[in-house]
Structure 1
């Protein structure tokens, strides 16, 4: 009698290389075709196709997990792409003529923004710059304490530490007063502290949700592998009248009180005026995407404001791996192209792609002064090494690069010609520009630009200039390691 198991065993021993080859072709060829047809950047397409073909099984699995933008490719896109309502107050009309207050070339930026952002540039906004947690957190907590009917809070990181517990306490008291509260935290960012703060919020009855929650089971993970697509937005809106946004998460490391007067630095902004409605629209869209709850705009947004002077034009710019992909990338490319005198950039993670580096380099060669401030000591060492691997390209073109000393600065700030500012959550790295959901605000105001420039110039005053000579002094082994890390920069 023929032993079937023995026959199968013998067949496998003799033909397993052929079986493996056929399986690798069946798996890798469709996957490589998908990468070639869907990746918009030629370098990304070549890289993924190469990985898939050289390592058919591991490469294909890696592409399925990290390479496919499911926010655009699955039914999630139907939720993300719903028409978003901008709650409009017609007492603050769309800005139509910037020449009365600003240089003529800034009109091109307004035109660009009209094409990129769903929101219109509107005047009537009062904006205040808040330096660090010592200024931002008290202002935010005070607004929460004074809330009368609604609080919407969104953050990438919301730590369950001493400052985080102050926010929880303030939110609980607001809820007890009858205020409607919604809290949205990124599902990865919430894990930066333990136990995570959303458990404490829910314990006290605060309505809280996690953006792109990641299932723990492996099979579930393959159904919803969103670990690479995070909400990096930071928004607080109180009573639809006052809002806060910028680069600051909720962490005690930004407070002098909890760091022996040596906090990390960051910059946040408070807003009053029509831009608050744009921030609320952004939050409401993310909240509905996460929870399927539609927030009533008549309740969550104010119709009138008692906005103090001065009042300036501003608008929100959303970006993310949905239909707003590359919004910030396009805005910055245009801003660098129209700059005539001075570009100032402060970024903790400066890893622009070749297009943005080309725009900066071209500006420098046109005679525009370009100052770029990065931290000397970074909280992400891999990113710091990758930055050093490519920073020579902007220095060679004539840009001035400064390594800020002292406490780590997490600020994301850009000014053009002392009149236009771009602030918010976006870093100048591939993750912010293509993978994260980000929120920024463009501001047309000489006074705000001057305040930002002063903050950047203060960093430059005590910073170390980075030159090609200093880069050449880095040992070859370290430069090689930096370059290898730089190869993975799209996923750092």
Structure 2
């Protein structure tokens, strides 16, 4: 056997290269919906079949097949109070009378791509700092009587993380059903990870799409859950952009703490947030969360009451690019203003075109990004394409002060879009994300004020300023921009 391998290894290697390269190239050509991505991967595979096929297996397959899992909340929530909650689904006539036909058109788009209905009878409150958000979340956990479902990207084993872990341990001790789902990549941000603490405390915990000790799950190693969802007793939920880590609190990190926004919601949207997190839990563990313990509590409001809201789940499964489609629709109906705050702003050509077209129509387009970013490579890559928007009447602002991780967007002071999605290739194609569409003037105005406050102390990015920088720096940014889909 050894003699045969030593004599024929070139032929074996050649055959293996042909088989692996052909399989990977065919898969890329048949599954990629974007021609540039398909051409790029096929080119890499042809140039180096073994290495290219291996890279493709790790980073190129961006669709998880979850056909066995429910994609509609009816299948998951049929026994947990769904019938009463469905009476809060928004009628299109109500949207037209309050907000006009253009937002009714946006409702139709959401109905067709988001899989969760626009509902009435909700409430949503902004939590502006980690101190506010963590305090409210811990209070809800400590008051829980039936169930707690928590999904997050990062759960650090630091002061804040251990504070949450202790509260969850105490909830289990008093008979509350608790489930904690942490992304396999996000769990590695702390060494040692928080998983050991949960195991010792008998808190049911799982990792999404991998194993922290053995490694990530192939061929989906580049895919991760970026969602942040906490649902308590089927009544109240927390979601937004905030991970669980001490760097977002003034209490521990002082005045230089990182800023972010999180939200506490009640109403029918809680059922949809639960559906998403429960579906992810079932994907990771096989356990279906149903029965009275996990029952949703009908809202203590009347159908038709504000706030109109929809939960928008997106990810590399059948919900691929749902957030992208929602953004394209929102930019197309804007008449007066588009305001965006994002830490990582790397829109694709379609979104840049939509923003530029809106600005050329006379819509005021303002984009706020941090002056100091925690991901330097991403910051350089996104700077490389600022000129594409600036020359088309958009305005870009560099916000001063500590790093701001908020993801906020408003249209015309009426429609808001908030949650976990950044406007970059990873959030739009590779991550599992969750956002909320909110139709309500009061809430949209609050988000507008938050963005306007950042603009007041921000520095404007100008074409002249970009072009006056050293050529070597601009070239480096363009090179990094070429790799932006995988940053």
Q: TM-score range by the shorter chain?
A: over 0.9
* Residues 163 and 186 of structure 1: CA distance in aligned 2, closer, same or farther (over 3 Å): same
Give the equivalent residue in structure 2 for 1:364: 359
Shift of 1:24: 3.9
Three-state SS of the structure 2 residue aligned to 1:465 is strand
* Residues 292 and 480 of structure 1: CA distance in aligned 2, closer, same or farther (over 3 Å): same
Structure whose alpha-carbon radius of gyration is higher = 1
Inter-partner Cα distance in structure 1 for 2:163 and 2:71: 36
Q: Give the conservation status (yes or no) of the 8 Å contact 2:130–2:248.
A: yes
Q: Give the conservation status (yes or no) of the 8 Å contact 2:224–2:431.
A: yes
**1:258-307 deviation digits (Å, cap 9, x = unpaired):** 11222100011110111101111111111111111111154213333335
Shift of 1:20: 6.1
Give the equivalent residue in structure 1 for 2:173: 176
Q: Is residue 2:76 matched to residue 1:85?
A: yes
Inter-partner Cα distance in structure 1 for 2:172 and 2:367: 44
Three-state SS of the structure 1 residue aligned to 2:224 is coil
* Residues 27 and 295 of structure 1: CA distance in aligned 2, closer, same or farther (over 3 Å): closer
Q: Give the conservation status (yes or no) of the 8 Å contact 1:346–1:411.
A: yes
**1:170-228 deviation digits (Å, cap 9, x = unpaired):** 112222221111111111101111211121112111111111123755xx86x733321
Inter-partner Cα distance in structure 1 for 2:92 and 2:63: 38
* Residues 64 and 96 of structure 1: CA distance in aligned 2, closer, same or farther (over 3 Å): same
Q: Give the conservation status (yes or no) of the 8 Å contact 2:28–2:42.
A: yes
Shift of 1:79: 3.7
**1:315-351 deviation digits (Å, cap 9, x = unpaired):** 1010000000010000000100111110000110001
Q: Give the conservation status (yes or no) of the 8 Å contact 1:339–1:368.
A: yes
Give the equivalent residue in structure 1 for 2:55: 62
Three-state SS of the structure 1 residue aligned to 2:221 is coil
Give the equivalent residue in structure 1 for 2:138: 141
Shift of 1:21: 5.7
Figure out how many residues of one structure are paired with residues of the other and give that number.
478
Give the equivalent residue in structure 2 for 1:456: 451
Superposed CA RMSD:
2.2
Q: Is residue 2:393 matched to residue 1:403?
A: no
Q: Give the conservation status (yes or no) of the 8 Å contact 1:157–1:186.
A: yes
Which of 321, 325, 344 is 2:316 aligned to? 321
Which of 262, 266, 272 is 2:266 aligned to? 272
Give the equivalent residue in structure 2 for 1:166: 163
Inter-partner Cα distance in structure 1 for 2:318 and 2:190: 32
Query: Mapping of 1:68-467 within 5 angstroms?
Result: 68-69=61-62, 71-72=64-65, 76-79=66-69, 84-86=75-77, 87-88=82-83, 89-97=85-93, 98-214=95-211, 224-306=218-300, 311-467=306-462
Inter-partner Cα distance in structure 1 for 2:192 and 2:247: 17
Inter-partner Cα distance in structure 2 for 1:331 and 1:372: 18
Q: Give the conservation status (yes or no) of the 8 Å contact 1:375–1:404.
A: yes
Inter-partner Cα distance in structure 1 for 2:63 and 2:345: 26
* Residues 294 and 344 of structure 1: CA distance in aligned 2, closer, same or farther (over 3 Å): same
4+ residue stretches of structure 1 with deviation over 6 A? none
Q: Give the conservation status (yes or no) of the 8 Å contact 1:81–1:322.
A: no
Q: Give the conservation status (yes or no) of the 8 Å contact 1:188–1:227.
A: no
Inter-partner Cα distance in structure 1 for 2:239 and 2:439: 17
Q: Give the conservation status (yes or no) of the 8 Å contact 2:58–2:218.
A: no
Inter-partner Cα distance in structure 2 for 1:179 and 1:355: 46
Give the equivalent residue in structure 2 for 1:473: 468
Three-state SS of the structure 2 residue aligned to 1:71 is coil
Inter-partner Cα distance in structure 1 for 2:125 and 2:422: 21
Inter-partner Cα distance in structure 2 for 1:55 and 1:8: 22
* Residues 310 and 114 of structure 1: CA distance in aligned 2, closer, same or farther (over 3 Å): closer
* Residues 19 and 455 of structure 1: CA distance in aligned 2, closer, same or farther (over 3 Å): same
**1:417-470 deviation digits (Å, cap 9, x = unpaired):** 100011110010111001110001100010110110101011111111001111
Q: Give the conservation status (yes or no) of the 8 Å contact 1:214–1:224.
A: no
Give the equivalent residue in structure 1 for 2:37: 44
Inter-partner Cα distance in structure 2 for 1:254 and 1:313: 29
Q: Give the conservation status (yes or no) of the 8 Å contact 1:424–1:440.
A: yes
Q: Give the conservation status (yes or no) of the 8 Å contact 2:187–2:212.
A: no
